[in-house]
Structure 1
Amino acid sequence: MTAELVRGQNHPLTETRLEITVSTGDPVLAGILLADARGHVAGPDGVVHPGAPRRPGLEVPGRAAASHRLTVDLGALDETVHRVTVALALAAGAAGPDRFGATAAPFTAVHGPGAAELVSFTLTGLGPETAVAALEFYRRQGAWRVRAVGQGYTGGLAGLLRDQGLAEGAGALAAAAHEAAAPVPRHATASRTAGDGTPAAVAPPPRPGEPAPATAPPPAAPPMAAVPPAAPSGQASEPSAPPQPLPAGGGRVDYRHPGRAGGPTAAGPPSPQQASQQAPQRSPQQDPPAGPPRPVAGDAEGWTPEERLYNQVRGMFEDLARAVAAYRSAVSFADARRERELGQALADPRSRTGGTAGRARAEAEARHAALVTRARAVLDRDLAQLTAESEVVEPALPPAFARWDNPVWHGYRVPMENPMALRLGDLHLPERPELRIPLLVRLPLETGLWIDGGRTGTTADLAAGPGGTRRAAAEAAVALAARLLAVHQPGDYTLHVLDPAGSAAASLAPLLESGALPGPPAAGAAGVTAVLSELTRRVDLLHMAVRGGAPDALPPDLAAGEHLLLVNDFPHGFDDRAVTRLRYLADEGPAVGVHLLMVADREDARAYGPLLDPLWRSLLRITPVPDDHLADPWVGHAWTYEPALVPAGSRVLVQVLRQVAEARRAWGR
């Protein structure tokens, strides 16, 4: 059964020898890009295009046309190749449209052995783009998957290549591809030279509705099913609409792409003799395993176990974002299609009487339910695999990445090297709230953090009661500061605390009880001024040393390593000069290792007017209670954030901080 993908959706592959068919309304050139684990194309050798149409395991057409076949043998690719992107670009100089929005929506399909169609994807919603990344094959846990991308580029093929990491030579490579792919006139019979030097006839395209003529496949390509006729030039497809309206009589609608009107015809699947002659023999060990691959912790790319786990968590986040985005897109499409079908059925006065309208409504609802059910089944499959992966990855995380209830904290030892990232909390989406992805940020922190102690209006916030959110914010700040101290080497992280009114005494008790904070927090206006003056001086001197090229010419009293300033109950105890210094530290401090962690309610700072707006915008806002405030512009999700708090009644925080304090005293001797 063919899986019809929507933008962002992925599908597992059980075959590695594939053929991709492309059907468009106007001539396009097709190419393949090979990228590493970071998604970067190494150079011109990583681009298969009409000017260089063959690489080991890959072949693309040498001309621009409305129908294409591309062959891909994923098993023959080098192990350094992790992403294979199928790219399309409108033919330069062709008489057709100058943008994809003015032609029929391109249709792509992936076929396996025997011409079996595995997945299909119609690239709807394109507008001024002249190039598009259509499909992407990528490695995931030792197996290959295919993703419907549909990312368009107004900068043409050159812009697409630059976005794929080809920083130099993208324009020249795009020009060479267009020059080699100069299309043969579509409405004339001509001859051209085939790969073996013999002339090959170029037949005029079939009319819409007529079967496609049987043609010989390219020399190196297996004889798959003939490509169906393309939609006529200039016929645009709606971004989210089926190509045919609902008949007034309630008849069945043909939702196939116009380019698939004839279906697989003429050429048919290859015979066993042909397949044995053209396909290389594979040993049983090369066959992909049945079913989804078993999750393994740390199977991503990276030089160290920590980096591999970090990249794996990022991959889980991206997979969850894409899977949910594809599901929501499918549901949105189903809703829009149902409304359109009902509107079209009721627009005809003759269908408003009798049972016609009822039948049309029932059929529209049935098609809607079928599409939503199918989309939910795909989502549940992907979420089940991610859940299984999370159950394997979570116990294997190092302390910097782990929750406080992870056993790794009970066996904590002072680290010998600093971490590459830090866990701030968890993220999840409403489609599967129990599936939580760690929110990891790279270290050193590029921006300060602001823990919002104000009322958020969420259920958890209301349950905390008056003042409960502010207490929870101080506890979240202490847990985060303790984590930063614990995952760094002794002496590499220094904590400063400002609590002008002394309102966080209970929350700060673990830091004082363990000795991780050598003295009581600075209080009152005088304490605020003293700490801010010291850190401002440090930032000034470090910036001067860096600009002057003399980082070693620093005063002996300037402590080395990173510094974290925890400010509780801002702006209490801050005058205008102190506010100015705090803004300076927020802007200039991270570049020289001085970081800001604030606990504040923005409503309390409204007396300063717009003066503090730049400060709020420069900080990453997190909350002490679950809240869906983290917006993701990539796919449009609102992620629910949950802070990384210490379990109630647990002494693990004090135990860890005591080891930190002891190691710091030993280091200072």
Structure 2
Amino acid sequence: MTAELVRGQNHTLPQTRLEIRISAGSPVVAGATLADESGTVRGPEWVAHPGAHRLPGLEVSRQAAAGHRLAVDLEALPGAVHRVTVLLALPVGTGGPARFGATAAPFAAVTGLDGTEIATFTLTGLDAETAVNALELYRRQGAWKVRAVGQGYATGLAGMLTDQGLPGAAELAATIQEAVARSLARSVAPAPPRTPEADRVRQTSGPQAPPPASSGPTAPSATGTGPGTGSGPGTGPAATDPALPTAAAPTSGTPTPGAAAPTGPINYAHPRRRPSAPPAPPPAPEPAQPGQAPQPVAGDATGWSMDERLYNQIWGMFEDLARAVAAYRSAVDFAESRMGQELDRALSDPRNRIGGAGDRAREEARAKRDELTARAREALDRDLGQLAAEAAVVEPALPAAYAGWDNPVWHAHRIPMELPMALRLGDLHLPERADLRIPLLVRLPLERGIWVDSGRTASEAAALMDGDRLRRLAMETAVLHAARLLSVYPPGEFSVHVIDPAGAAAGPLAPLVDAGVLAGPPAAGAQGVASVLAHLTRRVDLVQMAVRAGAADSLPPDLDTGEQLLVVNDFPHGFDDRAVTQLRYLADEGPAVGVHLLMVADREHASAYGPVLDPLWRSLLRITPVADNHLADPWVGHAWTYEPPVVPPGSRVLEQVLAAVTTARRAAGR
């Protein structure tokens, strides 16, 4: 049975040798990009287009045409490839339409080699766009799926390739259009109108998928540890900036644009790692019964360590949940819109307004709406059930840095000797299934500061809460984050400073003070504020100068070069203009040299400074001490509900973790 997809919906592919058929109302350029697990296209050699139409496991047309066949052999793709994106673009300077909105909606079909349709997608809603991502074939838990994307770009091929992280996107886009313009790729006239009968005839001919290629790595590719580009318009939740990992570009065997596919192996080793052996492949999921999804396995993503695999797997779950809910919401909106259109057509005839004709039309329209909605909900429940099963396997396997405070891993936690990849700041969920929660992970070292919003206007729940209680919750949340950071850094490589001008946070700060893990007593009063800010500003200045001069050995011996965290309570109380300027300087320049901010503040209390503090607020990751739906994902822009971390009632896990920090420091002589 053919799956008729709507934008955002996915469907499991039953086979790996496929054809993708494109039908358009006028000649278009068809191509495809290969991307790693983070969605990044590593270079021009990962793009198949009319000027370089063949890659291992992938072949596209060499001409601009109204009908295309793309051959795909998923098993022959390089091991580093986790996503194939089919792209369409309007040729430039051929006299054809200048935008997709001026031609018939393109149609895409994924078929088997025998022509049997597996999934179809009509790219509706395009207007000023001149390039569009039509479909994605992506690997998930050892299986391949197809997703209907339909993301258009008014900026054309250059904008689309740039969005996928391709270096030199504008140059490659110009190369593709030049190939079309000089008739390297001939423009073919539109095909006859598409009909099911004609499709069945066309399916019996055409290019077959290429045989499996021998090129490509023999082991899973390494994924990097630096910030990535993500797979959508942003790099993480819109207000979060937890960057996805990227993989290193090939360092050998790299073909040039337009050249033949490489015949030798490509080295995908990460340049910043020197392993003695390639990473072990992720555990394979247990074979699934026919018609059933494979059993989830913790750490089934690629990576050099289990932590890296789990990190990548969590981000895959995050994306899958976002897109599954987007498909459901899109289907429900379509059902409602279709019902309205059918009612308008039926009731526009005056004869249907008398008697039972109008009532029957309403009942039929509502019945169709309910059927479509029920089918969409069934598909969503299936996807949510699979993700819930995966979450149930992944959560118990998480290391302490990724785990919730209720995870037993904390009771056996030992301070590590190496910094983990990421840190958990809380959980995210959507209203379609609130019990399915995805850990919110941010990369380490922190790339931006954190702001715990203690204002009553932060959310509806905050507005109903007593102001003193809300401020205490905000500070308790900040203490939990500071404790977690202390517990995942090697001994002596992370210090915490606290500014509490009025001494209002003595209660929440007690666990840190009692454990003796702070760099000094919490600073109070204007003098204390000035002293701490001057100390950290000096550190930023000295480290910056040493880095720029290449003279790290010249730093003063008393300078602590470890990571520093400044916790600020009740900002801007106790801050004068100079202190505010220093704080903004630390927010802007500190993260690059290891100084980070964790602020507990109500933005309204700082309104006296006017817009001068707006850049400060925008530079920080805003989280809340109570649940609030203020974060957005980079794929479809859902409003995700953020749940702050909490310690189970009656648990002494926080005291145990801080005691372990103290013990590790003493053992290391710090």
Both structures adopt the same fold (TM-score exceeding 0.5): yes
For the 8 Å contact 2:456–2:465, the answer to whether it is kept is no
Spell out the pairing of 1:350-499 with structure 2 (5 A cutoff): 350-456=351-457, 458=459, 460-461=461-462, 464-499=465-500
User: What is the distance in 2 between the residues matched to 1:605 and 1:57?
Assistant: 58
Task: Give the aligned partner of residue 195 of structure 1.
Answer: none
Shift of 1:163: 3.9
Spell out the pairing of 1:209-608 with structure 2 (5 A cutoff): 214=201, 217-218=204-205, 220-221=207-208, 290-456=291-457, 458=459, 460-461=461-462, 464-517=465-518, 519-608=520-609
User: What is the distance in 2 between the residues matched to 1:308 and 1:649?
Assistant: 33
User: What is the distance in 2 between the residues matched to 1:109 and 1:4?
Assistant: 9
Change over 3 Å in CA distance of 1:207–1:446 after alignment to 2: closer
Letter in 2 for 1:12: T
Letter in 2 for 1:176: A
User: What is the distance in 1 between the residues matched to 2:346 and 2:450?
Assistant: 55
For the 8 Å contact 1:27–1:94, the answer to whether it is kept is no
CA offset digits 1:331-377 (Å, max 9, x no partner): 11221221122122222222222222222212211111111111111
Change over 3 Å in CA distance of 1:420–1:184 after alignment to 2: closer
Tell me if 1:139 matches 2:114: no
For the 8 Å contact 2:287–2:294, the answer to whether it is kept is no
CA offset digits 1:82-104 (Å, max 9, x no partner): 21222222344544322211111
Q: Which of the numbers 172, 175, 180 marks the counterpart of 2:175?
A: 172
User: What is the distance in 2 between the residues matched to 1:518 and 1:62?
Assistant: 65
**Higher mean C-alpha displacement, 12-21 vs 55-64:** 55-64
User: What is the distance in 2 between the residues matched to 1:212 and 1:306?
Assistant: 48
Tell me if 1:205 matches 2:176: no
Shift of 1:117: 2.1
Shift of 1:73: 2.5
For the 8 Å contact 2:448–2:620, the answer to whether it is kept is yes
SS in 1 for 2:110: strand
CA offset digits 1:550-586 (Å, max 9, x no partner): 2221111111211111111222222222222222222
**Higher mean C-alpha displacement, 108-117 vs 42-51:** 42-51
Tell me if 1:83 matches 2:83: yes
Higher alpha-carbon Rg: 1
**Higher mean C-alpha displacement, 89-98 vs 575-584:** 89-98
User: What is the distance in 2 between the residues matched to 1:520 and 1:454?
Assistant: 26
Letter in 2 for 1:351: N
Letter in 2 for 1:622: I
Q: Which runs of 5+ in 1 are unaligned?
A: 187-203, 223-284
User: What is the distance in 1 between the residues matched to 2:196 and 2:387?
Assistant: 43
SS in 2 for 1:497: strand
Scaled by the length of structure 2, what TM-score is found?
0.82
User: What is the distance in 2 between the residues matched to 1:546 and 1:216?
Assistant: 62
User: What is the distance in 2 between the residues matched to 1:537 and 1:129?
Assistant: 50
Task: Give the aligned partner of residue 666 of structure 1.
Answer: 667
User: What is the distance in 1 between the residues matched to 2:287 and 2:514?
Assistant: 60
Change over 3 Å in CA distance of 1:4–1:371 after alignment to 2: same
Spell out the pairing of 1:103-142 with structure 2 (5 A cutoff): 103-112=103-112, 114-142=114-142
CA offset digits 1:32-64 (Å, max 9, x no partner): 333332333444543333445455544434443
Task: Give the aligned partner of residue 26 of structure 1.
Answer: 26
Task: Give the aligned partner of residue 233 of structure 1.
Answer: none
CA offset digits 1:230-278 (Å, max 9, x no partner): xxxxxxxxxxxxxxxxxxxxxxxxxxxxxxxxxxxxxxxxxxxxxxxxx
User: What is the distance in 2 between the residues matched to 1:399 and 1:129?
Assistant: 46
Shift of 1:667: 2.3
User: What is the distance in 2 between the residues matched to 1:219 and 1:634?
Assistant: 35
User: What is the distance in 1 between the residues matched to 2:528 and 2:109?
Assistant: 68
User: What is the distance in 1 between the residues matched to 2:529 and 2:428?
Assistant: 34
CA offset digits 1:510-551 (Å, max 9, x no partner): 112222126431122221121112112212222222233322
Shift of 1:420: 1.9
For the 8 Å contact 1:409–1:652, the answer to whether it is kept is yes
Letter in 1 for 2:402: F
Shift of 1:607: 3.0
Change over 3 Å in CA distance of 1:606–1:76 after alignment to 2: closer
For the 8 Å contact 1:512–1:518, the answer to whether it is kept is no
Task: Count the aligned residue pairs.
Answer: 590
For the 8 Å contact 1:64–1:183, the answer to whether it is kept is yes
SS in 1 for 2:336: helix
Change over 3 Å in CA distance of 1:209–1:58 after alignment to 2: closer
Change over 3 Å in CA distance of 1:160–1:177 after alignment to 2: farther
Task: Give the aligned partner of residue 631 of structure 1.
Answer: 632
Shift of 1:447: 1.5
For the 8 Å contact 1:48–1:54, the answer to whether it is kept is yes
Change over 3 Å in CA distance of 1:385–1:525 after alignment to 2: same
Scaled by the length of structure 1, what TM-score is found?
0.83
Change over 3 Å in CA distance of 1:54–1:489 after alignment to 2: closer
Letter in 2 for 1:205: P
User: What is the distance in 2 between the residues matched to 1:453 and 1:80?
Assistant: 44
Change over 3 Å in CA distance of 1:612–1:129 after alignment to 2: closer
Letter in 2 for 1:413: R
Task: Give the aligned partner of residue 200 of structure 1.
Answer: none
Task: Give the aligned partner of residue 60 of structure 2.
Answer: 60
Tell me if 1:184 matches 2:188: yes
For the 8 Å contact 1:14–1:290, the answer to whether it is kept is no
CA offset digits 1:573-601 (Å, max 9, x no partner): 22222222222222221121111111112
SS in 2 for 1:650: coil
**Higher mean C-alpha displacement, 101-110 vs 288-297:** 288-297
Change over 3 Å in CA distance of 1:82–1:467 after alignment to 2: same
Shift of 1:80: 2.7
Shift of 1:430: 0.6
Shift of 1:159: 4.3
Letter in 2 for 1:605: A
Change over 3 Å in CA distance of 1:177–1:286 after alignment to 2: farther
Change over 3 Å in CA distance of 1:7–1:465 after alignment to 2: same
User: What is the distance in 1 between the residues matched to 2:38 and 2:337?
Assistant: 36
User: What is the distance in 2 between the residues matched to 1:104 and 1:288?
Assistant: 41
User: What is the distance in 2 between the residues matched to 1:287 and 1:620?
Assistant: 41
For the 8 Å contact 1:157–1:174, the answer to whether it is kept is no
User: What is the distance in 2 between the residues matched to 1:331 and 1:175?
Assistant: 43
Letter in 2 for 1:609: G
Letter in 2 for 1:65: A
SS in 2 for 1:507: helix
SS in 2 for 1:609: helix
**Higher mean C-alpha displacement, 499-508 vs 60-69:** 60-69
Shift of 1:429: 0.7
SS in 2 for 1:414: coil
Letter in 1 for 2:118: L
Letter in 2 for 1:514: A
User: What is the distance in 2 between the residues matched to 1:206 and 1:443?
Assistant: 55
Change over 3 Å in CA distance of 1:302–1:208 after alignment to 2: closer
Change over 3 Å in CA distance of 1:58–1:601 after alignment to 2: closer
Shift of 1:403: 0.7
CA offset digits 1:4-30 (Å, max 9, x no partner): 211121111222222222222112232
SS in 2 for 1:552: helix
For the 8 Å contact 1:565–1:594, the answer to whether it is kept is yes
Q: Which runs of 5+ in 2 are unaligned?
A: 210-285
Letter in 2 for 1:175: E
User: What is the distance in 2 between the residues matched to 1:385 and 1:183?
Assistant: 45
